Amino acid sequence: MNWTWRPSAIALVALIGAVAPGEASAGAISGQVTSAGKPIPGAMVTAFDEAKARRDTAYADADGRFRLDTDISGKISLRARAPYFKDSAKDIVLLSAGDQVIDYDLARETDPAALSDSLTASAHLTALSWANPNTRAAFISQCNYCHQVGNELTRVPRSEATWYETVQRMEGYLAILTNREAQDIAATLAKGFDGKPVAAVQKHAWSDQLAKAKVKEWVVGDELTFVHDTDVGADDRLYGSDEGHDIIWVLDRTTGGIEANREPDINLPEGGVFSGFRLPIGVFSGKHGPHSMAQAKDGKFWITNALSSTLVSFDPATKAFKLYDVGRTHLYPHTVRIDGEGVVWFTIAASNEIGRFDPKTEKMTVIALPHDGFWRGMTDLAFAYVLKVASLFPASGMHLAVSHTKWADQGRDAFSLPYGIDVNPRDGSIWYAKLNVNKIGRIDPETLAIREFDTPMKGPRRPRFDKDGNLWIPAFDDGGLMKFDTRTETFETLKLPLLAPNEYETPYALNVHPKTGDVWITSNMSDRIFRFTPSTKTFVSYPLPMRVTWLRDLVFAKDGGICSSSSNLPAYGIEGGKASFICLYPDGETPAR
């Protein structure tokens, strides 16, 4: 826990009658956040329920005033947080439909160590001095896609030898580095994370948009839960794919109830076809690895099982799963989307393919993508067989011993890695992003003809279409946003707003709001969500209440929520120690039904 509890400030308000914790009806907490009489715009006031399983957050307006309508009742811990100020916590009891006024007078944080600890991972990353820009690029690409590095858990001082062991362990999981990159990263981390406070100056741009926004979070699973993606169902429930435990979590936001639906067993060892990898102990204890999901018009979810090379349908009404084999040489089914005809399309990341599955005929088609050169072609042809041999030695990481990522010094360049995918609403064409070769591609859904385009920024990850047929693409490696006009075949690029000039962001995913056309983007190194308005070309940054918030797919709920899962690996690295479903309501909550 990073926040500072101040027993002297605890105000336990005694109320008449029994108070039952729960989410029956809304109460309200309002007040003002100031420091020495001056308001703190943008300060976050968060209510935690007694079990620390629910969190609601409101933002202070220009006068420091806030109003938090919350369905949490009973004993509540209330915390006010603002950059450069000490957290202030108060315990209260809130009746359902009750109303309380709580003011905060925050003290400036003057202790350099505490101030440093309060900064986002992006600030701590500035302590790393990279001798080689290529190694920095490898670090961003291969170390930041699972987690923030620079958070409280990962910036602990370690010797170079210990860091090297850690980096090697990460390579056993899925990071792809050359030997030189692994050694240089270990040396840089050992030197940079020395335990001394970081004296970064971050500028938080406050927007009056924040005052009407609200964040709600629901803790899910335990310290090792990894909810990779979240989707919102037609029933406005949130569905989360727990890649480590073969579970589909379902959250009813109206009751706060969460249920776990476990996928059926399969004749594969732990880790599935990747059992030769050194899978993170405890986190990856499944065989399927449910990764991404999309709901069809008939209500069924289609889910890519990354580790078992299967596609699975999940019927929320009957809770029934049905598995479809993609083929064990087709490695890591990744992002899935459904076209207007109900056909399921998904990237197959590690073998450079696209899958097409027609639920009506149950016909599976795998489309090989262009090989992108000799070494990547070698990966496309041989990697599945390397994994087969490696699986004879479970959890040994043997694939690294024989891989040309190592002996031919190819590193991540050995993989094309088709990643995100989406359907163009204008013509039904299928578009994908190839992460490691900086390309996007188009597939004609009828002829399956392929065309590819080079992207101007690096690391195109999970793109989404707007209703006009523009493809919006997050540039993970370059901290940017790209727009590709599919009619003129031209790109526009933008850099994401940073808290300080020497920081960087790693946008993993984005989504385009179907009504407003705003593009919502994950930040992931600075615990924020960005809203980009194309008409004015302006960003609004929404700081998020918990440190180490790492988000993946963003989806839009009917009640105005922009929802995702907080899925930093491992979950115990997240402030509070557990994964969560998270929804940002930029205009407050509106009735869902």
Partner 1 sequence: MQIAFLYIVITVLMAAVIAAFGLPFLVAGWLFARFTRGAIADGPRIALAAAIAALGIAPNYDAYQGPLPIYMRLVRGEPAPLVASLVALVITWLMLLAVARFFARRRVTVA
The residues binding partner 1 (CB under 8 A) are 164, 168, 171, 179-180, 183, 389, 392-393, 396-398, 400-403, 406-407, 409
Burial class from Cβ neighbours inside 10 Å (0-12, 13-18, 19+) for residue 339 reads: middle
Indicate the residue among 20 and 402 with the shorter CB distance to partner 1: 402
Q: At what angle do helices 179-192 and 133-143 cross, to 10 degrees?
A: 90
Closest CB to partner 1 among residues 176, 519: 176
**Closest among 152, 104, 149, 154 to 122, alpha carbons compared:** 149
Whole-Å CA distances, 336 to 391, 462, 581: 26, 11, 20
For the beta sheet containing 54-59, the strands, ordered from the edge strand earlier in sequence to the opposite edge, are: 88-94, 74-81, 44-49, 54-59, 214-219, 580-585, 562-566, 555-556
> In the complex, what is the shortest distance from the CB of residue 165 to partner 1, in angstroms, rounded to a whole number?
9
Angstrom CA distances, 184 to 126, 142, 154, 192, stand at 16, 13, 17, 12
Q: Which is nearer to partner 1, 370 or 397 (CB)?
A: 397
| Minimum CB–partner distance for residue 194 and partner 1 (Å) | 24
> How far apart, in whole angstroms, are the C-alpha atoms of residue 358 and residue 290?
19
In the complex with partner 1, the residue whose CB is nearer, 349 or 398, is 398
CB of 145 to partner 1, least distance (A): 20
State the Cα angle at 140 between 135 and 142, rounded to 5°: 90
- Compute the least distance from the CB of residue 65 to partner 1, in Å: 57
Q: Give the residue with the Cβ less far from partner 1, 261 or 396.
A: 396
Nearest distance in Å: CB 375, partner 1: 13
Write the CA distances from 477 to 132, 154, 495, 499, 534, integer angstroms. Answer: 16, 20, 11, 17, 22
Nearer Cβ to partner 1 (278/356): 278
Could you write out the DSSP letters of every residue in 215-241? EEEEE-S-TT--EEEEEE-TTS-EEEE
Q: How far is the CB of 420 from partner 1 (least distance, A)?
A: 30
- Residue 113 or 389 having the CB closest to partner 1: 389
Nearer to partner 1, 271 or 445 (CB): 271
Q: How far is the CB of 162 from partner 1 (least distance, A)?
A: 13
Tokens of 329: 């040489």
User: Strand 333-338 relative to strand 344-348: parallel, antiparallel, unpaired?
Assistant: antiparallel
CB of 406 to partner 1, least distance (A): 5
In this complex, which beta carbon is closest to partner 1, that of residue 2 or of residue 396?
A: 396
Which residue, 395 or 494, has its beta carbon nearer to partner 1?
395
Separation CA 560–CA 537 (nearest Å) = 22
Taking the complex as a whole, the smallest distance from the CB of residue 275 to partner 1 amounts, in Å, to: 15
- The residue type at 383: F
Closest approach of Cβ 402 to partner 1, in Å?
5
CA distance 378 to 385: 11
> Exposed, middle or buried: residue 374 (CB in 10 Å: 0-12, 13-18, 19+)?
exposed
| Shortest reach from residue 8's CB to partner 1, in Å | 52
Task: Give ∠ CA 536-537-543 in degrees, rounded to 5.
Answer: 110
What tokens were used for 441?
Answer: 């591609």
Sign of CA dihedral 284, 289, 294, 295: negative
Strands (E), 170-317: 214-219, 227-232, 238-242, 247-252, 257-262, 290-295, 301-305, 310-315
- Considering the complex, state which of residue 374 and residue 393 has its C-beta at the smaller distance from partner 1: 393
